[in-house]
Amino acid sequence: MQKRLRVRDGQERRSQVKGHVASGAGLVVDPGHTLVSSSSSFEVAPDWPSQGHVEFQQVVLTYRPGLPNALDGVTFTIYPGEKVGIVGRTGSGKSTIFLALFRMVELRGGRILLDNVNSRSVGLESLRSRLAIIPQDPFLFSGTIRENLDPLGRHTDSDLYQVLEQCHLQAVITQMGGLDCELGERGKSLSVGQRQLVCLARALLTQAKVLCIDEATASVDQKTDQLLQQTIRQRFADKTVLTIAHRLNTILDSDRVLVMHAGKVAELDSPAVLSKREDSLFQRLLTSGQQ
């Protein structure tokens, strides 16, 4: 009887989890967040985007009428496999770039292309299932590590343990009881850094070509932070990685840095070039150590 109850409880919880997953396993959306509606269902190739080419063309986004544009004519191109850091002071539009990319808020103007396909022509579930994100506040379900890694039950135990090992979490999870160990409310059994590593493991399972990282502003212990950076460099070496950086030292080895200011692209070049320019906003951010 107890076993039957546990199975039933697991089935009910998985059903609830499915209701809160905006994609196969790429983007997990807080159930309290209001989503935009999907108005299109353009069929893309199963491996789209196969290259990870991201292009913003004169993108304009406003949160509501009467407010200034959060993105004001933003144009840039990120090439396949590039590692790009996104920086800027509070309110510059850094996080809004990700909201636009995942269509959490629809554009007022311009367009976003992924491998030359207009993202607005793709259904929301399809779009978000092809992208991976590690949010600033890592969102985990009140359930098991298995349910958090693989909400729809598409992967084997071997797959799950493999990504846990790649993200330096296998020993921790094994000590806690394995794949079916409970993580507590919103994953409170894990530290902030470990929760980010779980999100990274979830991203690895999607095999997405585009990874978006919004660095945690909360205190992350140095060892875990180093493991996070190391895993990203090793496991996403051939992927396009966009990182919103709140600590500039983490993106100094990026291919390029995108500097945002007042909803516009202020600079886009390599860290080495920008740091040597006396009039560079990036150089001033480095000097002040503030964003």
pLDDT-derived band at 176, boundaries 50, 70, 90: very high
- Residues 234 and 166: their CA atoms lie apart, in Å, by 9
- Domain hosting residue 48, numbered range: 2-288
pLDDT of residue 267 exceeding 50: yes
2-6, 168-172, 282-286 — which is least confidently predicted?
A: 2-6
12-16, 38-42, 191-195, 244-248 — which is least confidently predicted?
A: 12-16
For the beta sheet containing 240-244, the strands, ordered from the edge strand earlier in sequence to the opposite edge, are 131-134, 210-214, 240-244, 83-87, 256-261, 264-269
- How many domains are contained in the chain? 1
For 136-155, how does the pLDDT look when each residue is reduced to its tens digit (9 = 90+)?
888 888 899 999 999 889 99
Q: How open is the CA angle 199-201-202, to the nearest 5 degrees?
A: 60
Q: So what's the pLDDT on residue 34?
A: 38
What integer is the mean pLDDT of 40-65?
91
pLDDT of residue 133 exceeding 50: yes
Report the predicted TM-score, pTM, of the whole model to 2 decimal places.
Answer: 0.82
The residue behind tokens 């546990």 is 6
pLDDT of residue 96 exceeding 60: yes
- Residues 204 and 159: their CA atoms lie apart, in Å, by 10
Question: Which runs of consecutive H residues, i.e. helices, occur in 105-169?
Answer: 124-129, 145-149, 157-166
Other Cβ atoms within 10 Å of 131 Cβ, number: 26
Give me the CATH number covering residue 7: 3.40.50.300
What does the DSSP assignment read for 91-116? TSSHHHHHHHHTTSS--SEEEEEETT
